[in-house]
């Protein structure tokens, strides 16, 4: 009986109220200003959902599936970036980015134009 009580307690304490919608902010790395119209999409090849950032750099993607995937950030003139949204290291507690009502921030770098020096 003690075993079942202990097991029940462990299960209940490890349960999280989990919201698997993706949300967060996108900023310019050098100016620290929000970027609007950044395409943010799930990294699924098929049926990926996507959203664009608003004038505050905010985005939200409704995730109806049980799967959690990385997010890809795309904007002309900036280097694309991919963010890992869930991971665990050495059996530790799961860590999340852009999930579970945690509005994380990612900073995008501007692309550098090609400069030709001499011939």
| Mean pLDDT per 10-residue section of the chain, whose length is 119 residues | 43 50 93 97 82 96 80 95 81 75 87 73
pLDDT at site 45: 62
Tokens of 74: 């795309």
pLDDT at site 50: 92
pLDDT tens string 49-61: 899 999 999 999 8
Mean pLDDT rounded to a whole number for the chain: 79
First to last CA, the chain: 82
Query: Does domain 17-108 correspond to CATH entry 2.60.40.1120?
Result: yes
CA–CA separation, 31 vs 34, rounded Å?
A: 9
Give pairs for 62-70: CB < 8 Å, separation 24+: 62/21, 63/20, 63/21, 63/22, 66/20, 68/20, 68/99, 69/42, 69/43, 69/44, 70/42, 70/43
């Amino acid at each position: 009986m003690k075993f079942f009580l202990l097991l029940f307690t462990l299960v209940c304490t490890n349960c999280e109220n989990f919201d698997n919608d993706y949300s967060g902010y996108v900023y310019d790395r050098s100016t620290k200003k929000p970027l609007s119209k950044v395409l943010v999409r799930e990294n699924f090849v098929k049926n990926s959902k996507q959203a664009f950032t608003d004038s505050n750099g905010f985005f939200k993607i409704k995730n109806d599936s049980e799967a959690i995937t990385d997010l890809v950030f795309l904007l002309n003139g900036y280097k694309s970036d991919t963010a890992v949204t869930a991971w665990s290291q050495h059996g530790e507690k799961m860590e999340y980015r852009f999930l579970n009502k945690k509005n994380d921030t990612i900073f995008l770098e501007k692309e550098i134009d090609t400069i030709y020096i001499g011939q």
